[in-house]
Structure 1
C-alpha cells in the first residue's frame, strides 16, 4: 500500500524540478495526480513520467495567475478524479531580473507576486471547497528560507514568499477546524532546471553557510509526508528543507 492510496492531488508547477519529482512520488504512492503547468511540453513530459512510474496523472495547461484558468483547471481535475484531497502549491520562482528593490524593473515585482503569492491564493480559493466536500485533506504551500532569514539579491521573491508564510498561517487557523491542514515548505538552495539557469552549481554556497544544494526529490519527500495521513497533527507549520541553511 502507498501512503497516498485513494488520494486525489493537484500539483502546480509540476512540469519541472520539485513539482515533477513530487508528481512522480505522489503517483508512486497511490495518488491520482493532476499537474497544473503553463509549459505544455514540460507538463506532458512530467505526466508521462508519473504514468510510467505506475501512477495516474493528468496534465492541465494552466497559468496560475489567471483566476478563470485556475477555476477551470481545478474543476477539470475534480471532475476527472471525483474529488480532491491534496493541493501542493509548488509553482513559483524568481528570474534573473530580481534584485534590489531600487534596481529591479517594477514589472518584475508584480510578476513574482502574481505567480508566487497570488497564484497560491487563487489555487487555494478554488480548491478549498472541493477539499472540504471530499472530507478534508491537506494544502501544502511553498515559501522559501528567504522568508525566514535576511538575504540579499531577490527582494521581490523574498516579499512574495513572506506573504505565503502569513497566508499559510491564516489559512491553517481558519480551515484546520474543518479538517483541512495547511502547511508550507521552505526550501533552501535546490538544484533545478531554473536555478541551474540562474548559475547554481553543486558546490556549497557561501550565502547559505556552506550548505550543499538540495535535490528536488529531497523536497518532494517532505511534501509527501505533509500530504499523507501521517501528518494528521501537523497544521500551520513552516518547515525548512534546506540542509540547515536557515540556521546560519
Structure 2
C-alpha cells in the first residue's frame, strides 16, 4: 500500500494506492487512523521514500504517533545534499493560483511553525520571523493568503519610490525555516527514535513494496521518473550568498510581463 502525504491538524493525511504501476482505487484517511487498527496486533514495517523536508517531516509525524512502527527512510541523498538544503525557506506560497486545500495546508503549516518558534530550540532549527516586500511592475489583486501571514499591507507611495521599476507592492511578516539547520535536527530526532536511514536510489516503488507493509511516497522531483509524473518539472536558479548585515528585509520582485517568481530576490538569512 502506497501513501502520498499532506498535513492536517491531527497529523498527516495520506492518499493510499492499493497497487503500484496500474490503475487502482484511492482512499483518504489519516495515518493515525490506519495505524490505530493494527497497532495492537502487529508491528508495521513502514518505509518513507525521500529524504527531503517532506520525507523527514512525514517520518517524524508517523513515528511520534505510532512509536511501535518499524520505520525506514530510503533516499538517494540526505542532508546536506538535498534540494531543500539550498532553499531559503520563506513561508510564502504562489501569489494567486492557490486552492482552498492549499490555503488550509498553509494555515496549518504556519500554526505548527509558530508553535515551534516559541520553543527553546527555534534558533537551532533555523526558524525565525522575517519582514519584507513583494513588489510588482503594475497593480495586482491581494493574495488569498494575506490573512495567514502577519501585518499584510500595501506599500505607500513613498515606499514604492524606493524600488525603481516597480510601482506597486505589499509588506508582510512571515516565518523563515532554513532547511540546512532543520533537516539535521529532524534527522537527529529520528535517529534517537530508532528510525533507520538507507541511502540508495530506487527506480520503482515496487523495489520496496515487498519488504514493507506501508510505503509513503515523498520523492519530490524524482516523481517524474519514479512515478512517471510528467507534471513534475524542476526549476532552475542561481543563488549567491553574500555578507550584507545592513539588509534587514526580504525583497521579492515580480515582473508580470514574464512570469512571477522569475525575477531577482533578496532573502536575509
Same fold, TM exceeding 0.5? no
The structure having more radius of gyration, on CA atoms, is 2
**Higher RCO (CA-CA < 8 Å; seq separation 6+):** 2
The TM-score normalised by the length of structure 2 is 0.27
Q: Which has the higher helix share?
A: 1
The TM-score normalised by the length of structure 1 is 0.29
Q: Which has the higher strand share?
A: 2
